[in-house]
Amino acid sequence: MLKTKVTLLSLSITLLLSGCQTLQTPKKDGKKSSVDGLETSDHTATVNTQPRLSANEPRFEAIQRERNLPFDLNGNRPELPLDNLWDQIAINFDLIYKYQPHYQDYLNFYINNPRHFERVSERAEPYLYLIYEAINERDMPMELALLPVIESAFIPYARSHMSAVGLWQFIPSTGRNNNLDQNWWFDGRQDVYLSTQAALNYLERLYNLNDQDWLLALASYNAGYGRIVQAKARLKRANPNAEPTYWNIRPYLPPETRNYVPQLLAVSYLHKYHRDYNLPIKPIANENYLTRIELDKQFSLHQAAELAGIDFDLLTHLNPGYLKHVSPPNGPHSLLLPIENAQRFEFALAQSHDLYNIRWQNHRVVAGDTLGQIAQRYGTSVAEIQRINNLTNSTIRIGRTLTIPIPAGAPTQLASAPTSTASTARVSQTPSSRAQQQVQTHQVRAGQSLSTIARDYRVSVSDLASWNNLDPQRPIRIGQTLNIASNSAATPTRANTTHPIQHQVFRGDSLWLIAQRYNVTIDDIRRWNQLGQNAVIRPGQALTLHLPNSTTEYVVKRGDTLWDIARAFNVNTHDILRQNGLNQRATIRPGQILMISPGT
């Protein structure tokens, strides 16, 4: 039985109108959407117009005629050995018996798409026992174990048009309301263990909000609790004596939610009786495959894979919440590993602490830099720099910022220190050398960021974050006091180093537009290019601009959004749009170069 009772007051306002979004979204206009090649459309169109051409159809109808009910769920069958996890899950089904007449129309659609079941069952293999165990511990309906079939087709990286992510398809706001961190380093919505716990917590709260009705809880999960309340109100106005069950309020729900619950019941039924319909569901061993290991601090995923003796791609597939090759500085610090590799990992970890030997430095590429020189300067290798920055060759662009992995024990080089300086300033991260340095404090003022403060004190952002135990991607607060280590009691000075870039004039450009885009003045552009007061610029003309070293040329990657990029650089989206001459409706594309000036 459920042990947790949660009242309405325990939910945030966002819970009322936000739900998790499934990728298989029936469109009201009957247009199809697809996951894994499985197309869906509006329920009515699918059921009433779909040709019955499947080779399984005669058998399907024969079984219907043989049984007292169209699908006799309680027919006598030989007991199966429960060495297949799908069978272990199916014997605990409950909802498919209670609501049998309501989902039969959906069965034909799935029977005619047997390849979908095969692919989904293959993808579910690493995660299914973890999900089964979590549901079983809470004594929740076992049909919930198949909810990721509907939500994400068991693709942990799945992303919907509503920005819902992961096996359980949390949208950003619902994810945050369920304590799933989302930052530059980590997305808890993609973490298999954390998102499963969050989804079940959320469903339990919705179950209690809906007077302990699981179908209404599922509908709330999809559409948001607020829409269920609205649908109940509409039903009451139309029929004051009607009981507010899912089936009665269904006509007042969004099209996707009208299909959502019957889809889950139909999929559950077919998983239980997949042998009757020759559905190619891959057996999964009825035993735990994964174990979760908690670690103390930030660690390297590559080192973890090496210590565990597994392929790096498998490690990231089991731990898809990590967006970088390291865990976040402030956690979480956990790993899902195959049980057979966990003992080796823990033994290797006890012998070596290389897993935790992580330090990072941002380096802005200047004229004359090569990967070899940068690697030598920071005491690392070219291969490591290429791997961390997803470089396929040795070509680097002037102005690009590289993330540099620094071996343990190597001093951290200031990013702002020019390579030509004979006595390059260094800040060691060892406690003894830090104690020898003078420390001053800085109180954060309005408009400041870690980037601007680091630039003022001529230190690196990573050092400043490290000295103050900060995540460099999280904003700082006005009035916050920061410690700054220095070799002398220096006052902040604005770094005035710049780098030149070439801007090719396009049709419609003006000096004012270019100055606005790059955050410089018209007089600067005229001076740099020896233009008179009445000079006219022409399309194709190349202008030289000198930008501060804090300005970054960012190459848009697949899956990036303006909001993600702005969060990573601690700026707002309006700054990026303004600096790049984009309007509010602009769409960014992979490979596009954006100019970003943190702190402007």
Catalytic machinery residues: 151
List 547's β-bridge partners, or say none: 499
Secondary structure of residue 483 in the 3-state scheme: strand
Q: What is the 3-state secondary structure (H, E, C) of 199-252?
A: HHHHHHHHHHHCCCCHHHHHHHHHHCHHHHHHHHHHHHHHCCCCCCCHHHHHHH
Separation in Å, CA 126 to CA 87, 190, 279: 16, 14, 20
Q: 34 — phi, psi (to 5°)?
A: -140, 140
DSSP state of 338: E
Cα separation, 547 vs 597, whole angstroms = 9
Cα separation, 111 vs 276, whole angstroms = 11
**269-275 own/partner pairs: CB under 8 Å, 24+ apart:** 269/71, 269/73, 269/96, 269/103, 269/107, 270/107, 270/110, 270/111, 270/117, 271/86, 271/89, 271/90, 271/117, 271/146, 272/90, 272/93, 272/96, 273/71, 274/86, 274/117
> Which residue bears the tokens 């004190």?
457
Residues in the chain, total: 600
Q: Which two tokens stand for residue 205?
A: 């709260």
Separation in Å, CA 437 to CA 424, 432, 488: 16, 9, 8
Residue ranges of the alpha helices (H) in 56-127? 57-66, 85-90, 95-98, 104-111, 114-124
Q: Please classify residue 378 by burial: count the beta carbons closer than 10 Å to its beta carbon, then call 0-12 exposed, 13-18 middle and 19+ buried.
A: buried
Q: How many CA atoms lie within 13 A of 278 on its CB side?
A: 9
Cα separation, 214 vs 246, whole angstroms = 9
Q: How many CA atoms lie within 13 A of 457 on its CB side?
A: 27
Q: 316 — phi, psi (to 5°)?
A: -70, -30
